[in-house]
């Protein structure tokens, strides 16, 4: 276990540090409940921290360093295969993850990303807004007269599944399968893995591969206007995409597009419930929804960290990172860096120049950024317009026991 003696406050999401000495260990319940005081301590005292929890790994928490690493070609994914082999051993997780564009360097990364990029441009996503609005209305109609709801189960979870399944061309009758699968895949992205999570991850990815193999066979005979049919056409044109790459990147789109957006909606609404004055401001000024969603992404982002490896020796903040070592870029810590954001622990839905890194930076910048923003804006904006008063049923909502993808188990409210 790593031992930077962090002093933390366990309450609120304000990032304030009070004194109660403790180890830095992201598996601790206190860390999962509120990682921000730990991040603050790291950023202030050891911003390029040598992990003693993970081998040959540095934990980087300052905004300038994180943004530099994500944009600098001296850092890349060349070590992804070794990393996943160490994490998972041989099997479906290794076979699939190593073909995700997210874990490839150019030129493979460029080739894979270009195949699906068109479907996710801001313009293409604008065209989806009416459909997303319809889905949000449909989900809220089901709860409006009930007087209570679990925001996670009734809105945050179903919306992104419905949207990504429609985009990919997954038939409506199969969509429930995906709800279960996505959580198990999401948990395999944590840097620290328990054997039972790995076993579950292998089994789930194997089921997804089997499912998509069947769907691809159907769509090959009968192409539709969805992304998957377009990818199949590219595969059939020859050397642009192999069937394994096609299967793997379908699973990536599904996984990257689901749990992340679920948690944008959940974390964003929880932040608002904890800041009633900001909630009221947004309800009175619905046109603030765009800057509000950027602030939710910055304040309590659903993707807390990502990683790279060094292709050569690089010095950061006076520390020498040797060739081949790994860096864990903590996006959520960078997003609270006072050198970049004024009063960073304050939720301010009107914040200007909010250049957060919650959606990444550089060549791997989130492909689904416009889609995630549209879903977040429509879901949160519509809920606040339709339901004026939201009261938390549990004083301290439970976070999922995950570190990379941060989100709530449930968010029960009455209204």
268 binds ligand HEM (CB under 6 A): no
Give the footprint of ligand HEM on residues 91-110 (CB under 6 A). Answer: 101-102
Shortest separation between residue 409's beta carbon and ligand HEM, angstroms: 18
DSSP string for 89-126: -SSHHHHHHTTSGGG--TTHHHHHHHHHHGGGSHHHHH
Shortest separation between residue 254's beta carbon and ligand HEM, angstroms: 8
Token readout for 140 is 């809220």
Residue 22 or residue 300: which is nearer to ligand HEM going by CB? 300
User: Cβ distance 262 to 157 under 8 Å?
Assistant: yes
User: Cβ distance 64 to 339 under 8 Å?
Assistant: yes
User: Cβ distance 29 to 52 under 8 Å?
Assistant: no
Contacts of 71 (CB under 8 A, 6+ apart): 361, 362
Q: Which of 66, 156, 303, 379 binds ligand HEM (CB under 6 A)?
A: 303
Shortest separation between residue 331's beta carbon and ligand HEM, angstroms: 6
Residue number, nearest CB to ligand HEM: 368
Residue 257 or residue 381: which is nearer to ligand HEM going by CB? 257
Using the rule CB under 6 A, give the single segment among 136-144, 260-268, 279-287, 382-390 that binds ligand HEM.
260-268
Distance, CA of 326 to CA of 71 (rounded, Å):
15
Using the rule CB under 6 A, give the single segment among 41-49, 129-137, 184-192, 296-304 that binds ligand HEM.
296-304
Token readout for 13 is 């999401």
Q: Which of 115, 367, 378, 413 binds ligand HEM (CB under 6 A)?
A: 367
Half-sphere exposure of 274 toward its Cβ, with a 13 Å CA cutoff?
Answer: 21
Token readout for 216 is 């691809």
132 binds ligand HEM (CB under 6 A): no
Number of residues that this document lists for the chain: 415
Q: Which residue has the tokens 């950061």?
A: 316
Q: Which of 256, 271, 347, 378 binds ligand HEM (CB under 6 A)?
A: 256
Q: Which of 164, 272, 321, 413 binds ligand HEM (CB under 6 A)?
A: 164
User: Cβ distance 63 to 339 under 8 Å?
Assistant: yes
Q: Which residue has the tokens 């180890």?
A: 23
358 binds ligand HEM (CB under 6 A): yes
In terms of Cα–Cα distance, which of 71, 63, 43, 59 is closest to 356?
63
Using the rule CB under 6 A, give the single segment among 39-47, 192-200, 252-260, 270-278 that binds ligand HEM.
252-260
Residue 6 or residue 272: which is nearer to ligand HEM going by CB? 272
In the complex, which residues of this chain contact ligand HEM (CB under 6 A)? 70, 101-102, 113, 164, 252-253, 256-257, 260-261, 264, 301-303, 306, 331, 358-360, 364, 366-368, 371-372
């Amino acid at each position: 276990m790593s031992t930077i003696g962090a002093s933390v406050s366990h309450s609120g999401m304000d990032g304030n540090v009070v004194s109660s000495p403790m180890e830095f260990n992201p598996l601790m319940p206190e860390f999962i409940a509120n990682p921000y005081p730990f991040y603050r301590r790291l950023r202030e005292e050891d911003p390029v921290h040598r992990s003693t929890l993970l081998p040959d790994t540095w934990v980087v928490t300052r905004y300038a360093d994180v943004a530099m690493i994500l944009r600098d070609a001296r850092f890349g994914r060349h070590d992804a295969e070794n990393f996943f082999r160490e994490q998972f051993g041989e099997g479906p997780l290794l076979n699939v993850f190593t073909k995700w564009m997210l874990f490839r360097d150019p030129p493979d990364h460029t080739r894979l990303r270009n195949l699906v990029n068109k479907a996710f441009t801001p313009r293409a996503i604008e065209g989806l807004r009416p459909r997303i609005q319809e889905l949000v209305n449909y989900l809220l109609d089901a709860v409006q007269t009930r007087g209570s709801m679990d925001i996670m189960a009734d809105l945050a979870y179903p919306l992104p599944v419905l949207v990504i399944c429609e985009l990919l061309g997954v038939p409506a009758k199969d969509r429930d399968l995906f709800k279960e699968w996505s959580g198990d895949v999401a948990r395999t992205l944590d840097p620290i893995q328990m054997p039972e999570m790995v076993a579950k991850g292998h089994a789930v990815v194997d089921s997804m591969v089997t499912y998509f193999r069947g769907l691809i066979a159907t769509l090959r005979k009968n192409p539709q206007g969805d992304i998957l049919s377009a990818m199949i056409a590219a595969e059939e044109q020859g050397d642009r995409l192999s069937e394994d790459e096609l299967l793997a990147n379908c699973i990536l789109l599904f996984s990257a597009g689901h749990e992340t957006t679920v948690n944008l909606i959940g974390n964003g609404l929880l932040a608002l419930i904890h800041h009633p004055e900001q909630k009221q401001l947004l309800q009175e000024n619905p046109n603030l929804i765009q800057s509000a969603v950027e602030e939710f992404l910055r304040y309590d982002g659903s993707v807390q960290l990502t990683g790279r490896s060094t292709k050569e020796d690089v010095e950061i903040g006076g520390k020498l990172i040797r060739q081949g070592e790994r860096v864990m870029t903590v996006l959520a810590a960078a997003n609270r860096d006072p050198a970049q954001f004024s009063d960073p622990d304050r939720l301010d839905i009107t914040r200007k120049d909010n250049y957060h890194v919650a959606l990444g930076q550089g060549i791997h910048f989130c492909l689904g950024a416009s889609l995630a923003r549209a879903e977040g804006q429509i879901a949160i904006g519509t809920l606040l317009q339709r339901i004026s008063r939201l009261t938390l049923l549990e004083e301290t909502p439970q976070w999922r026991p995950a570190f990379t993808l941060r989100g709530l188990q449930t968010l029960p409210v009455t209204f």
